[in-house]
Structure 1
Amino acid sequence: MSIGETHYATRAAKMRASEIRELLKLLDRPGVISFAGGIPDPALFPTDVIREGYAAALDAGGAALQYSVSEGYVPLRQWLVRHMASIGVPCTIDNIVITSGSQQGLDYLGKLFLSPGDTALVTWPAYLGALQAFNAYEPRYDRLAPEHGNTTPAAYRMAAEAAGGRVALAYLTPDFANPSGETLSLDGRRRALALADELDIPVIEDAAYQQLRYDGEDVPPLQALDVAAKGGDIDRSRVTHSGSFSKTLAPGLRIGWICAARGVVQKLVLTKQAADLHTPTINQMVMHHAAEHAHAAQVAKIRAAYRDRRDHMLAALLRHMPAGVSWTRPQGGMFIWVTLPEGLDGAELLARAVEQGVAFVPGRAFHADGTGGNSLRLSFSLADAAAIETGIGRLGALIAGAAQAAA
């Protein structure tokens, strides 16, 4: 007898294919202009420095190819201590654990904090990868809206208890969020932390895009605000900061990190020991080399390139989108969130858009409750000015036609 649905754990029912991963296949299709994946431009990767890093790691002896500690490569963690200090978070290497990309970090945090039936507070919309990571641990979701007004702590608790669990965590991408591109204000961040204090829950700060600011003033990370409120003691902070080198240096090395109170890091280290022992040592050594020798220049380079592409896309949207369509104007990151007129569906539009040679991600996948059908996410990181103009022109014409047909 073959293995069938009855053999799988209950959590398997919540595992869904990523619409983004599937759409990435369109990148290889001739003639399709893809605004789908939030993918760094490989032409901007610091390949020379990475090549040097691999040579240096191999020349240093066998350590690069050997088993290593689960916490991560010490020099890389020391670099991250300095980086976290630069954004307002004093810590030590005991507050840092290296993960195989920030996606692994989200999975570990879901495993650590969520029991079946617990409630996770997330924004509407929220990063699809986080929802996928958390889904394996069988939570329910409630809406978090620190910018526009949250439900009261008592209401969150009552709803969670009625569902048979507790409010277990809050998850936020405060800077240039995937998918909306929006940035949480300083007041919004303080409201989110105050809510977490009242509910006595951990806060997961997804900082994947934190370094990609193109306009405006920096806003302190949630963890920096919380540590400051706790007398400068990170071990009293309820915020776990999930960072990544994927959007700045190179995603293929799969290097992320979590900065958190030592007690949380110790639990995450045990989780990593059980999962994959450690992130590949050679990749950590190479990333440390790249961070030491190229990080500042690389961030400056990609900020300039992506700022220009964002500006081109915003200008193209203004030229080509019909009345009734609105969109965000991000100060950084890789995404613009488009809201269509009521009655239009992003998934239905995508099928026709691909036929016209343009791709995007429909918005429903980013909503834990299945709403958001009349929205879509556009990424500007991988397209040049000509492709943006052509692709947005095609998309605007399709939306205008669909709106006219629905009227």
Structure 2
Amino acid sequence: MDWQQIFATRNSRMAASEIRELLKLLDQPDIISFAGGIPDPDLFPAQAFQQAFADALSPENQATALQYSVSEGYPPLRDWIVGQMTALGIPCTRDNILITSGSQQALDYLGKLLLSPGDTALVGWPTYLGALGAFNAYEPRYDRLDPETNRSAEDYAQAAGEGRVKFAYMSVDFANPTGRTLDAGMRERVIDLADELDIAVIEDAAYQSLRFEGEALSPVLAREIARRGDINACRTLYCGSFSKTLAPGLRVGWVCGAKEVISQMVLLKQAADLHSSTINQMAIERVATAQFDSHVAKIKEAYRGRRDAMLRALEAHMPAGVTWTRPEGGMFIWLELPKSLDAAALLASSLRSERVAFVPGHAFFADGSGSNTMRLSFSRTDDVMIDEGIARLGRLIAAAL
């Protein structure tokens, strides 16, 4: 049977994630990997989760833990998230929260909810590869989101052609892949632009808790609430996740936004998977209630040390002409190489000769540009491995130049 003849047209926009493919290299013991932006498993609160799951499966709780549940999510967990959102300057209620199977599912739902074929999504240049993967299935066009410029709403609208601009997507704190943070002025400008275009704002806050230094900036949604006075009058949708703070394998994330949008997303949830795992939500709620702040402080200390080690190694080993970001948090450093170099070709050479993995930057650009860029993650390597791996990369790049 020729399956290609009956696949939907959207399948042509779907491709394997380069990062997911590179994660397979982690099983090779001689590879120094800066590729996967994944937490260090040695930092998981494993004992706390063992106790949380035991409690969830106790005689008094097991009927709830193992049964179907409401699509909106486990109520005590949503209540805990309400407290977190309120502390960030986002007063809300349980009805403003939907639990999703990781924030990746939230991005998929928002693409499905907001995009018709030919509509335009405004994204960073580069932007999170997983967001492009989530949105691609709904056949959008992409345009570069430029809050740091004076590009007009009319210009964005004209570039959209026959479709219309539907939303601006951005990771505002320690972004994947660049590690950059959107400053206060640009956050306000995004709200202004969204008002002018009458579009939604998707705020991906996966790394918001992982600030090592510098001034904490209030989320875009908090700033919009300060303008309008009520979350239900806001156009910003905040996507949060426990994957980078507690445990990615449990696949628990959330969306916080206006009730009108959340209620529509609940319908998508009911059609897709009914609800996220109840027992996983119960375990997350118990661990988060007991030790979220103290655990986040622990992992921030560890990741800050690794970031510092990578910045030192880059200064020591990279040849002239290579530049990089200096993130105040998160898991990533973004390198820009001289224009003559191609990072994908360098990766092939690196895996053969130096046994160091990274992610070529072109995967993060909606138009496939950025061939001379790369993303490095410092989350899973110790100081010695970081110095050795960066030294090997520096040697490879110098030889290529």
User: Common fold, TM-score beyond 0.5?
Assistant: yes
Contact 1:243-1:258 within 8 A present in 2 as well: yes
| Letter paired with 2:257 | A
Partner of 2:151: 151
1-side partners of 2:368 and 2:153: how far apart? 24
Residue 256 of structure 2, aligned match among 255, 259, 275: 259
Please state whether the residue corresponding to 1:172 is helix, strand or coil.
strand
Contact 1:122-1:172 within 8 A present in 2 as well: yes
Contact 1:170-1:201 within 8 A present in 2 as well: yes
TM-superposed CA distance for 1:152, in Å, is 1.1
2-side partners of 1:346 and 1:64: how far apart? 47
| Map 1:28-39 → 2, pairs under 5 A | 28-39=27-38
Partner of 2:78: 77
Residue 270 of structure 1, aligned match among 267, 271, 280: 267
Answering whether residue 298 of structure 2 is matched by residue 301 of structure 1, we say yes
| Residues 368-394 of structure 1: CA deviation (Å, up to 9, x unaligned) | 011100000000000000000000000
What is the percentage of aligned positions where both structures have the same residue? Answer: 61
2-side partners of 1:246 and 1:101: how far apart? 7
Residue 277 of structure 2, aligned match among 277, 280, 295: 280
| Letter paired with 1:376 | M
| Map 1:181-200 → 2, pairs under 5 A | 181-200=179-198
How does the TM-score come out when normalised to structure 1?
A: 0.97
2-side partners of 1:300 and 1:224: how far apart? 23
| Letter paired with 1:399 | I
Answering whether residue 338 of structure 2 is matched by residue 341 of structure 1, we say yes
| Letter paired with 2:300 | R
Answering whether residue 118 of structure 2 is matched by residue 109 of structure 1, we say no
TM-superposed CA distance for 1:61, in Å, is 2.7
1-side partners of 2:293 and 2:328: how far apart? 19
2-side partners of 1:69 and 1:209: how far apart? 27
Contact 1:27-1:34 within 8 A present in 2 as well: yes
Partner of 1:177: 175
Answering whether residue 229 of structure 2 is matched by residue 228 of structure 1, we say no
Answering whether residue 241 of structure 2 is matched by residue 244 of structure 1, we say yes
| Residues 92-119 of structure 1: CA deviation (Å, up to 9, x unaligned) | 0000000000000000000011000000
| Map 1:310-349 → 2, pairs under 5 A | 310-349=307-346
2-side partners of 1:346 and 1:6: how far apart? 35
Please state whether the residue corresponding to 1:252 is helix, strand or coil.
helix
| Letter paired with 1:320 | H
Please state whether the residue corresponding to 2:36 is helix, strand or coil.
coil
Please state whether the residue corresponding to 2:396 is helix, strand or coil.
helix
Unpaired runs of 5+ in structure 1? none
TM-superposed CA distance for 1:354, in Å, is 1.0
Partner of 1:352: 349
| Map 1:130-141 → 2, pairs under 5 A | 130-141=131-142
Please state whether the residue corresponding to 2:250 is helix, strand or coil.
coil
Partner of 1:368: 366
| Map 1:46-125 → 2, pairs under 5 A | 46-59=45-58, 60-125=61-126
1-side partners of 2:274 and 2:259: how far apart? 19
TM-superposed CA distance for 1:6, in Å, is 1.3
TM-superposed CA distance for 1:150, in Å, is 4.9
2-side partners of 1:93 and 1:367: how far apart? 36
Contact 1:170-1:204 within 8 A present in 2 as well: yes
Contact 1:364-1:373 within 8 A present in 2 as well: yes
Please state whether the residue corresponding to 1:204 is helix, strand or coil.
strand
TM-superposed CA distance for 1:54, in Å, is 0.3
2-side partners of 1:179 and 1:240: how far apart? 21
Partner of 1:6: 5
How does the TM-score come out when normalised to structure 2?
A: 0.99
Unpaired runs of 5+ in structure 2? none
2-side partners of 1:314 and 1:152: how far apart? 37
Please state whether the residue corresponding to 1:141 is helix, strand or coil.
strand
Answering whether residue 32 of structure 2 is matched by residue 21 of structure 1, we say no
1-side partners of 2:150 and 2:104: how far apart? 27
Contact 1:328-1:336 within 8 A present in 2 as well: yes
| Residues 250-297 of structure 1: CA deviation (Å, up to 9, x unaligned) | 000000000000000000000000000000100000000110112011
Contact 1:144-1:150 within 8 A present in 2 as well: no
4+ residue stretches of structure 1 with deviation over 2 A?
Answer: none
TM-superposed CA distance for 1:145, in Å, is 1.6
1-side partners of 2:273 and 2:3: how far apart? 27
TM-superposed CA distance for 1:3, in Å, is 3.8
